[in-house]
Structure 1
Amino acid sequence: MLKRFAITAGLVLSAPLAAQDAPKTDTVVLETSLGEITLAIESERAPVTAANFLRYVAEKRFDGTVFYRSMKLNFGEQPNGLVQGGTQMNPDRIRDPVAHEPTSQTGIKHVPGTISMARYAPGTATGDFSIMLSAMPSLDADPNGTTEDAKAGFAAFGHVTAGMDVVRKIFDAPTDPNKGEGFMKGQMIADPPVIISARCTTCAGD
C-alpha cells in the first residue's frame, strides 16, 4: 500500500510538467447520423495536415458529406480495417492538395482510432480521410519500403477521443457488392451515414 501511494504521489507531482510538454491539439466534433465522434487534431505534430483539415471544418466543407467506405479485413483480430469519409473529390468542396507529412516525421502512428488523410500519390490529399478500427502499421511511412508509395505512407494527424462506438457502427454498416471500382469494389456503404456537421470547439472564431 505504501509503495502504491508513493508511485501515485510521484505521478501527481510530475503531471503538471507532462501536461505542459504535451503537443498542442484541437478538438473537432463530427455530428453524424449515427452519433457524435470527437477528434483530437494534432496541430503541433502534424501542422500542415491538421491545418488543412481544420480549414475544411471552418469552411463547413464536410457538412452534408458522408462516410462512404468500410474496408473490412477478414484476417487478424477483429474488427480489422477502416472507414473513410469526406468530400469524395467533389470539385465544389475540395481545396488544393497539401504537402505530405509522413509518420516518420510526425510520430503519429496508425493505431486504433487514428485519423489519416486519404490520397492517391503522396502530396495529393485534399478532403477525404480515414479512421482506423485496428492498428495498420502498413500505412505508416517505411524508409526501407520497396516503392516510393510505401516509403511515404499515409499522413496520420489525430485520433478519436470519444465516439469509437459510432465509428464501429459505420464500420458495421452493410456494403453494396456492386458499388466501387477496382480494389474498393464491395467496400462502399450501401446507405452512407451523413456527416451533418463538423465543428472545431477549440479554434479561434469557431
Structure 2
Amino acid sequence: MKVLQFLLLGLSLFFLSCEDTKKRQQTIPDDTSEKSKETPIQKKDTLTAAKKTTTYPKITSNNVVEFLTEYGEANPETKVRINTRLGQIDIALYEDTPLHRANFIYLIKQDYFDDTFFHRIVPDFIIQGGNSDNASTNKKRYAIGEDYLIPAEINNRNHTYGSVSGAKEYRANPDKQSMPFEFFIFLGPQSSTSHLNGNYTVFGKVTSGMDVVEKIANLPADEGEWPQQNVVIEAEVLE
C-alpha cells in the first residue's frame, strides 16, 4: 500500500513539473514577438535608408531646364566646401545662375564629386576638377545623366581671382553650354581672361581657401597638366 502511494505521489510531481515547463514555453513568443524586436534604433535606420533610396530621373537635354529649376527651388543652398589633402576650399554659389547652382548642389548631394580629382592644373591660370580615371566616375555620370549640358547663364560677371566657372567639353561651342560634371577655379591675372569672359558661365566664387588653390596649382604635373599625385575631392553642402 505504501509502495502504491509512493508511486502515485511520484506521478503527480512528474505531471506538475511538465505543466510548469509548458506554461513557461507559452510565454516566450510574447517576449520575442516581431513588434518587440523593432527597437527605436532600427526604426531610425529604416528611415535613413529610405532617404538614401530617393531616386531622380536621369537628366537629359530635354528635361535639364525643368529638372534643375524644380530641384533648385527645393534645394536653395549656396555655400559648399571642397575638402582635399591640402586643405579646404569654401565656395559661395551665385543665385543669378540658378541652373548651374542647382546642378552643383545636386551633384554634391548625389556624392558625385567624392573621389574625383582636381585633374588639370595650370600655375597662374586655373585648376579644374570633377573628373578622374576611376571607373566609378563614369558609372556615376551614367546614373545621373551623361548626355546633358547646362545652358549658358552668362551675364556681365567677368572672371576674377577665385571665380568658379563651368568647364566646356569643347571650345567650338556656339551656345556656350557648360559641362555638368567639371568646373574650374580661376587664379590667373586679368590679362588671361580674354577668351574666358563672355564664353564661360561664372557661377560662384571662392570665399576661403585660395591658398589651397594656389598649392594645388603649383604641384608637379605631367605633360597633360594632370598632377603627378592625385588631389582627391570630397565635397559637402554647408548651407
TM-score, normalised relative to structure 1: 0.67
- Does residue 86 (structure 1) correspond to residue 133 (structure 2)? The answer is no
Aligned equivalent of 1:189: 227
Return the alpha-carbon distance in structure 1 between the equivalents of residues 205 and 238 of structure 2.
Answer: 15
Aligned mate of 2:193, from 134, 137, 157: 137
Following superposition of structure 1 onto structure 2, how do residues 148-167 of structure 1 map, counting pairs within 5 Å?
A: 153-167=199-213
- Does residue 117 (structure 1) correspond to residue 166 (structure 2)? The answer is yes
For the aligned residues, what is the CA RMSD? 1.9
Structure 2 unmatched runs, 5+: 1-75
Which letter does structure 2 place at the counterpart of 1:201? L
Following superposition of structure 1 onto structure 2, how do residues 162-177 of structure 1 map, counting pairs within 5 Å?
A: 162-177=208-223
Structure 1 unmatched runs, 5+: 1-23, 73-79, 142-152, 181-186
Return the alpha-carbon distance in structure 1 between the equivalents of residues 97 and 77 of structure 2.
Answer: 10
Q: C-alpha deviations, 1:48-99, integer Å up to 9, x for none? A: 1111111111111000111111123xxxxxxx20101103594323333211
Q: How many residues align?
A: 148
Query: Which protein is bigger by CA-based radius of gyration?
Result: 2
More strand by share: 1
Aligned equivalent of 2:20: none
Aligned equivalent of 1:19: none
- Secondary structure in 2 matching 1:54: helix
CA 1:65–1:162 in 2, change beyond 3 Å: closer, same or farther? Answer: same
Aligned mate of 1:60, from 95, 98, 111: 111
User: How many Å apart are 1:190 and its aligned residue?
Assistant: 1.1
- Secondary structure in 1 matching 2:204: strand
In 2, are the aligned partners of 1:108 and 1:158 still within 8 Å (CA)?
A: no
Aligned equivalent of 1:51: 102
Return the alpha-carbon distance in structure 2 between the equivalents of residues 155 and 25 of structure 1.
Answer: 19
In 2, are the aligned partners of 1:88 and 1:128 still within 8 Å (CA)?
A: no
In 1, are the aligned partners of 2:82 and 2:88 still within 8 Å (CA)?
A: yes
Q: Give percent identity, aligned residues only.
A: 32
More helix by share: 2
In 2, are the aligned partners of 1:27 and 1:41 still within 8 Å (CA)?
A: yes
Which letter does structure 1 place at the counterpart of 2:114? D
Return the alpha-carbon distance in structure 1 between the equivalents of residues 116 and 108 of structure 2.
Answer: 12
Aligned mate of 1:30, from 62, 82, 89: 82
